[in-house]
Structure 1
Amino acid sequence: MAEMGLYNTKPKYYQIIIINIFILSSITSSSMASSSSSSSSIDFTTAILIRVDQSGKGDFNKIQDAVESIPPNLNNSQLYFIWVKPGVYREKVVIPADKPYITLSGTKASNTFIVWNDGEDILESPTLTIFASDFVCRFLTIQNKFGTAGQAVALRVAADNAAFYGCVITSYQDTLLDDNGNHYFKNCYIEGATDFICGSASSLYERCHLHSLSSNNGSMTAQMRSSTTEKSGFTFLGCKLTGSGSTFLGRPWGAYSRVVFAYSYFSDVVAPQGWNEWGDSSKKNTVYYGEYKCYGPGADRRQRVKWSKELSEEEASVFLSKDFIGGKDWLRPAPSHFKSALKSNPK
């Protein structure tokens, strides 16, 4: 998206070590359901392990080669776990729609990077694009280093039932294209300046850190809900908002844009008005922008725009659990057992 006031339209759009790592993840996910009715045939405790290692000691040197080695899996019968060994992987990665139930994981985001440098086209620029359902990403840094000259997506999520844990997602403009479907982000760090979380998805961001690079009048979100019947919106629960200048909490990409912040810490980076109408005063009557029990110097609502809401307990309750994204039906714990891929093709 553009900087404030330039324009307001845009087009629509990685064995024991592993087991030890994911014991903790499984514990933290113990409240998640292990399957939905459409995936009841899958053994969620066991995954085929594919190792990516730039030193040549894994099954593949590149992440995309590992993805391409996985056969189409539309019968939803097998989990695949791509373990990416620490390093900087300079490549674009796409998870195609016919390969659901993939987990892409590093060991920790501070030493495992997927990096690309592309911009200006919101659909062509993403460093990592997800088209497959039931995707999980863990402990990776996803970067687009295009800079400040235009749209430069680090991550595009254009599929249903995708979850991200402990990831770092950074760019400047349109960092995270949270395109469509039900999504879950937990303990993630997301950085940008202009509309850096945008799209039409229904997403729950839990305990995430949002950091604005905007010097003045940037926007953290640009949610694109376009009608009252559309089930989409962004909820930020127990998050932390920081930055280097002044930013709005959001502005409406779609006329019925819906964003809620609850139990979140607002530093003084948040502009006193809180929200921006993006040059279209008619959207004041249709957007749904809410805050609930947020705190910190930027949470003072005395100068908030009148068309944002301080939510009541009843109003907020809809947004405060995984029910908002149907998560109890599709969020799954990390696998605890691994088996080797039937075929590997080192490159």
Structure 2
Amino acid sequence: MRNPGQFILSFLLALLYACTSFSEAGNRSRAPNIARLIRVDPSGKGDFKRIQDAINAVPSNNSELVFILVEPGTYREKIMVPADKPFVTLSGRSASTTIITGSNSGDIFGSPTVSVLASNFVGRYLTIQNTHGLGAKAVALRVSGDRVVFLACRITSHQDTLFDDVGRHYYSNCYIEGDTDFIFGNAASLFQKCHVHSVSGGGGFITAQHRASPSENTGFVFLGCTITGLTNTFLGRPWGPYSRVVFALSYMSSAILPQGWDNWGDPSKQRTVYYGQYKCYGPGANTSRRVPWSRVLIGKDVSPLLTTNMVDQQSWFRNVPSIFDEANLNSKNLVENIRCVHMS
């Protein structure tokens, strides 16, 4: 097995590649800072009343930037962004006022309220929730595209909240809530300055990372996050035998169980998982009683993770477009309003 430094370096190099590819892909569109604007307004004052109708209006094999501005409201929809519709930004004005909600359960592929299959997708200032409740798989958000970003979103359910399926993903300043395996999948993802909250009544699991072989460069990194819960919560358990999760410079409340990790009833996975912690703090961060097969990382192991250029969020996604197709503008003040929302 690679040493800790090699793992984190190779993993973050993959993330850096995603940053570069994402930027270059965006620049191959019609022009780097010009976008087609589509407005969704439930009152009927926009181009569409429903979000899915706006997504359907994006042409197949799309190659231009499309900015879908979702006005405040509660949207009771099941939304999918197909794989052949890349370069889409879906943006509310505030997560507290722009809510996408559903209540499906039973299957991780069929239950998501929102499914993102497209690459080069950006989601901003949205609440995405599945209100089904306890006791069943009820995904709020499935992310299966490559080079996907979520900024300042609220993602909530109980079991299997965030299906972080495949691809390279970046979550910044998001709130993610659930109780059982509520951040799961086999993506290569960086969670920066996110608040992760367990609502489990006891014995819940935050992560279930699915890396199946040592050749897969996937894993979850939580950097500068806040980890809280109601009571007695594990940091994670291995969905796949080579599961990889790292928490760095993050606050952990007393809800985190002292042992930290669970082997999901399979002791053989203890030899192959990679679970690490670096300079976390708070009452739940004490490593003295962690399971012996987890790792307490030191500076040389995580120095690539702490390089500003490697994790600068601006390199992960497009700036807010400053020019929109005139045919799509309903007001001369609209562009300025969009800038204000996204630069706050």
Q: Report the TM range for the smaller structure's normalisation.
A: 0.7 to 0.9
Q: Distance in 2 between matches of 1:324 and 1:227?
A: 25
Structure 1 outlier segments of 4+, above 6 Å: 322-329
Measure how far apart 1:261 and its partner are.
Answer: 0.3
Q: Does 1:45 align with 2:28?
A: no
Instruction: Give the alignment partner of residue 59 of structure 2, picking from 71, 96, 111.
Output: 71
Map of 1:134-283 to 2, 5 A cutoff? Answer: 134-283=120-269
| 1:32-56 CA-partner distances (Å, limit 9, x unpaired) | 7695444542223221110000100
Q: Distance in 2 between matches of 1:86 and 1:326?
A: 29
AA partner of residue 51 (structure 2): I
Which stretch of structure 1 is more off in the superposition, 40-49 or 60-69?
Answer: 40-49
CA RMSD of aligned residues (A): 2.2
Measure how far apart 1:293 and its partner are.
Answer: 0.6
**Secondary structure in 2 matching 1:48:** strand
Q: Distance in 2 between matches of 1:207 and 1:264?
A: 8
CA contact (8 A) 1:260 1:319 kept: no
Residues 37, 141 of structure 1: alpha-carbon distance in 2 compared, 3 angstrom cutoff: closer
CA contact (8 A) 1:224 1:256 kept: yes
Q: Does 1:84 align with 2:70?
A: yes
- In the other structure, the counterpart of 2:47 is 59
Identity of aligned residues (%): 54
TM-score (norm 2): 0.86
CA contact (8 A) 2:211 2:241 kept: yes
TM-score (norm 1): 0.85
CA contact (8 A) 2:26 2:120 kept: no
Q: Distance in 1 between matches of 2:123 and 2:327?
A: 19
Count the aligned residue pairs.
Answer: 311
Map of 1:75-154 to 2, 5 A cutoff? Answer: 76=63, 78-154=64-140
- In the other structure, the counterpart of 1:16 is none
**Secondary structure in 1 matching 2:277:** strand
**Secondary structure in 1 matching 2:37:** strand
AA partner of residue 35 (structure 2): A
**Secondary structure in 2 matching 1:297:** coil
Residues 48, 265 of structure 1: alpha-carbon distance in 2 compared, 3 angstrom cutoff: same
**Which structure is higher in helix share?**
2
Q: Specify every segment of 5 or more residues in structure 1 that has no aligned partner in the other structure, as ranges.
A: 1-31
Measure how far apart 1:107 and its partner are.
Answer: 0.2
CA contact (8 A) 2:22 2:120 kept: no
Question: Which structure's relative contact order is higher, taking Cα pairs within 8 Å and 6+ residues apart?
Answer: 1
CA contact (8 A) 1:103 1:135 kept: yes
| 1:147-195 CA-partner distances (Å, limit 9, x unpaired) | 1120000000001000000000000000000000000000000000000
